[in-house]
Amino acid sequence: MHEGSIAKAIADTVLHHAGAEGAEKILSIEIEIGELTFLSFDQLKFWLDMEFKDTPAGEAEIKFTSVEARLQCDACGFSGRPSAEMDTGSHLALPSLACPKCGSSRIEWIQGRDAVVRKMQILKPD
């Protein structure tokens, strides 16, 4: 469960930047979550609520957007979604670490690995 540590990093980032802007209150926060992070939105929301308690972001609306995984194959030039394999132990569909077109392992993940604070709305004192 890595949602707690990711929530801490997000909260630190949000509070730092809001403080630097002189925010009195943080009204909303938009966060993009890549599907390769395997983060649970519900768990992340729980931990963010804990991190933001008694801060200017304590009542902020938190919005999540999922970013799909995409790869680029260095061998054949394929660019797109990875194929998925069912992991029977975790009951999750895990992305294959090979190109779905040619099977090469010379791939680069170009999207879907990050958790990014994309936007926040703040209230400054009058």
Domain boundaries, the chain: 3-123
- Dihedral Cα 40, 10, 33, 60, nearest 10 deg: 80
Per-residue pLDDT, 2: 86
Backbone angles phi, psi at 61, to 5 degrees: -80, 125
Q: What pLDDT was estimated at residue 126?
A: 78
Topology given in CATH for the domain delimited by 3-123: hypothetical protein PF0899 fold (3.30.2320)
How many CA atoms, within 13 angstroms, populate the side-chain half-sphere of residue 112? 15
C-alpha span between 45 and 53 (Å, rounded): 12
> What are 61-119's pLDDT values in tens digits?
999 999 999 999 999 999 999 987 755 666 566 778 899 999 999 999 999 999 999 99
The 10s digit of each residue's pLDDT in 10-51 is 999 999 999 999 999 999 999 999 999 989 999 999 999 999
Confidence class for position 54, pLDDT limits 50, 70, 90: very high
Strands (E), 12-125: 25-34, 61-67, 70-73, 79-80, 84-87, 92-95, 107-111, 115-123
Q: CA-to-CA distance for 60 and 31, rounded, in angstroms?
A: 12
Cα angle 25, 30, 32; round to 5: 150
